[in-house]
């Protein structure tokens, strides 16, 4: 397993669960200093970061790009893959496809989190799930063409009413026979929704594509009450070799959250 830490460049997401904010170069320098393997990036859009600049920063610091978030599509542009209007859904898919084109050359998957939206009348839950499936199908195809990958993230009940657990997400992706879409297991959302986090990860097995490494209170692992040992044991058991990526609040400050994260990572991933 590899370590990663989040960097947000989205002013509208201020207050959100990201370790580093605004300054990509400073974030890379700090991530490197703490010994992380990678950064996970939340850009304002597909054209916000110059790929050559990012490549140079990553190379200079010996970092990889773990994943790229698409939440700006929602927080900046109110784009949703399950919008009532077909044209709006198409715009949302196109936005994610462009982020995927940005991320793929770095070997980084794109994350579908808040862009999945939520169902509300007049769109019924089954209809919204059909829209979500259609969107993920298109993104799966696009990922095949662009040699990229997609992560679908079930969110807790306060953030979506579509799919809340890792098991439901795995079932959904299996039913649509997705080839390039895997589940993002966010330990914070899981702490709210799962009966047992380790069991949920074991059941999803090879469909687990990425992990958001967060404690029960969405602070750095070790600053809450989640018991990491059985979770990491389950990940080892399923042969998970991806990232534990800290999508956590920068509390008490970015540097402390990064230090606590890497210490927890080293302690539990022997």
Question: Looking at the annotation, which residues are catalytic?
Answer: 153, 247
Give the nearest distance from C-beta 245 to ligand LER in angstroms: 9
Q: Distances from the Cα of 143 to the Cαs of 65, 85, 128, 176, 181, in angstroms?
A: 17, 24, 22, 15, 8
Return the residues of window 140-169 that contact ligand LER according to CB under 6 A: 153, 155, 159
Per the rule left: phi > 0, alpha: psi between -120 and 50, beta: everything else, 124 is: beta
Q: Which parts of the chain are beta strand (E)?
A: 2-8, 20-21, 38-42, 64-69, 110-112, 150-152, 181-186, 208-212, 243-246
- Pick 128 or 155: Cβ nearer ligand LER: 155
Give the nearest distance from C-beta 48 to ligand LER in angstroms: 16
Q: What binding mask, one character per residue, do residues 171-190 give for Mn ion by CB under 5 A, x or -?
A: ---------------x----
Question: Whole-angstrom distance between the N-terminal and C-terminal Cα of the chain?
Answer: 10
Which residue from 37, 186, 193, 215 is in contact with ligand LER, where contact means CB under 6 A? 186
Burial class (CB in 10 A: 0-12, 13-18, 19+), 176: middle
- Pick 84 or 159: Cβ nearer Mn ion: 159
Give the nearest distance from C-beta 231 to ligand LER in angstroms: 16
* Contacts with ligand LER, residue ranges (CB under 6 A): 69, 71, 111, 113-114, 153, 155, 159, 186, 212, 247
| Interacting residues with Mn ion (CB under 5 A) | 186, 212, 247
């Amino acid at each position: 397993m590899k370590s990663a830490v989040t960097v947000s460049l989205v002013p509208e997401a201020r207050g959100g669960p990201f370790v580093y904010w605004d300054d990509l170069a400073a974030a890379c320098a700090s991530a490197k200093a703490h010994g992380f393997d990678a950064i996970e990036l939340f850009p304002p859009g597909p054209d916000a970061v110059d790929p050559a600049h990012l490549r140079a920063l990553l190379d200079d610091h010996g970092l990889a790009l773990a994943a790229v978030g698409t939440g700006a599509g929602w927080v900046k542009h109110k784009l949703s893959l399950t919008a009532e209007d077909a044209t709006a859904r198409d715009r949302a898919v196109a936005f994610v496809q462009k982020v995927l084109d940005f991320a793929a050359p770095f070997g980084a998957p794109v994350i579908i989190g808040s862009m999945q939206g939520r169902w509300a009348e007049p769109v019924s839950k089954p209809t919204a799930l059909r829209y979500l499936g259609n969107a993920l199908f298109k993104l799966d195809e696009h990922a095949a063409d662009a040699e990229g990958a997609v992560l679908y993230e079930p969110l807790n009940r306060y953030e979506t009413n579509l799919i809340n657990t890792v098991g439901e997400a795995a079932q959904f992706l299996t039913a649509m026979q997705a080839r390039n879409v895997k589940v993002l297991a966010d330990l914070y959302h899981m702490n709210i929704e799962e009966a047992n986090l380790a069991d949920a990860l074991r059941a999803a097995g090879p469909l687990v594509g990425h992990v958001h490494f967060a404690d029960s209170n969405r602070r750095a692992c070790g600053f809450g009450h989640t018991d990491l040992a059985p979770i990491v044991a389950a990940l080892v058991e399923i042969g998970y070799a991806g990232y534990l990526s800290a999508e956590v609040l920068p509390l008490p400050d970015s540097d402390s959250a990064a230090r606590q994260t890497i210490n927890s990572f080293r302690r539990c991933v022997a």
